[in-house]
């Protein structure tokens, strides 16, 4: 008797396109963080915005507003494309501040040096806002605050870091995941938020919006 089991007929209802996520950022750091938790965005749709703080706007509210604006711009582009129309979207923005003073994303050595001298030997705050939009256009968001204290930087350390050019385009003129990690005396809060995307909050928001964040976790979805 032939005991070979016949293949089961394909259930067409179970064959669905893999859920897609659009990252509203060109940041390699945010992409790497998403990949760390098993999420590979279907597309990157960064938004080119004026990030100048408004009069009286707090660092926290600036981060929230910019994340919302990035999300809206990315959503407008994604909803106009057949391959991305039903995707989830994620946007984030990171602001480094000393008190209410917002530090720029350093574009020149002088700008970076000014930031680092201000941060030297003192505590500052990092605010990262995360916004998620579902395919039904339901938005969820969170602002995460971390406190970072730098050691007092010597002139040699300052010049060495400026020569590395690691500061280019970084909020506050430094990247904690790089050489500047050696400057950090104390960190209270989420390390990944300081890098650019708080993973716990991002995963929670995506999960709440219906995105299967654990799909690639060995069958745990």
97 within 8 A of 123, measured Cβ to Cβ: no
The CATH number for 19-208, chosen from 3.20.20.70, 3.90.950.10, 3.50.50.60, 3.60.10.10, is 3.90.950.10
The CA–CA distances, whole Å, from 73 to 33, 34, 42, 112, 212 equal 22, 20, 17, 29, 24
**Active-site residue flag, 93:** yes
Taking alpha carbons only, the member of 98, 102, 99 closest to residue 119 is 98
Marked catalytic residue, from 83, 93, 137, 207: 93
What would the pLDDT profile of 59-78 be if each residue is shown by its tens digit? 999 999 999 999 999 999 99
Q: Where are the beta strands (DSSP E) in the chain?
A: 21-23, 43-44, 88-98, 101-103, 123-133, 139-150, 184-188
pTM of the model: 0.88
Rounded-to-integer distance, Cα 70 and Cα 129, Å? 11
Is residue 10 very low, low, confident or very high in pLDDT (cuts 50, 70, 90)?
A: very low
Domain boundaries, the chain: 19-208
For a pLDDT cut of 90, what percent of the chain falls above it? 86
Instruction: Please compute the mean of the pLDDT values over residues 107-135 and round it to a whole number.
Output: 97
Instruction: Please compute the mean of the pLDDT values over residues 146-164 and round it to a whole number.
Output: 97
What would the pLDDT profile of 91-106 be if each residue is shown by its tens digit? 999 999 999 999 999 9
Is residue 219 very low, low, confident or very high in pLDDT (cuts 50, 70, 90)?
A: low
Q: Give the pLDDT score at 2.
A: 43
Rounded-to-integer distance, Cα 216 and Cα 85, Å? 22
181 within 8 A of 110, measured Cβ to Cβ: no
Q: Give the pLDDT score at 3.
A: 43
Non-local CB neighbours of 7 within 8 Å, separated by 6+ positions: none
């Amino acid at each position: 008797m032939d005991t070979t089991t016949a293949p089961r007929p394909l259930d067409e209802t179970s064959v669905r396109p893999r859920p897609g996520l659009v990252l509203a950022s060109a940041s390699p750091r945010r992409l790497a963080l998403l990949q760390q938790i098993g999420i590979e965005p279907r597309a990157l749709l960064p938004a080119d915005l004026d990030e100048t703080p408004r009069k009286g706007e707090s660092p926290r509210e600036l981060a929230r507003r910019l994340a919302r604006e990035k999300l809206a711009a990315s959503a407008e582009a994604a909803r106009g494309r057949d391959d991305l129309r039903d995707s989830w979207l994620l946007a984030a923005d990171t602001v480094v501040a000393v008190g209410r003073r917002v530090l720029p994303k350093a574009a020149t050595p002088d700008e970076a040096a000014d930031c680092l001298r201000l941060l030297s030997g003192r505590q500052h705050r990092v605010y990262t806002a995360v916004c998620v939009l579902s395919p039904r256009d339901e938005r969820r968001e969170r602002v995460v605050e971390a406190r970072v204290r730098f050691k007092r930087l010597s002139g040699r350390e300052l010049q060495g870091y400026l020569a590395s050019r690691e500061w280019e385009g970084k909020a506050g003129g430094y990247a904690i995941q790089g050489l500047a990690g050696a400057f950090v005396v104390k960190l209270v809060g989420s390390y990944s938020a300081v890098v650019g995307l708080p993973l716990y909050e991002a995963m929670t928001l995506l999960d709440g919006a219906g995105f299967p964040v654990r799909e690639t976790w060995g069958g745990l979805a």
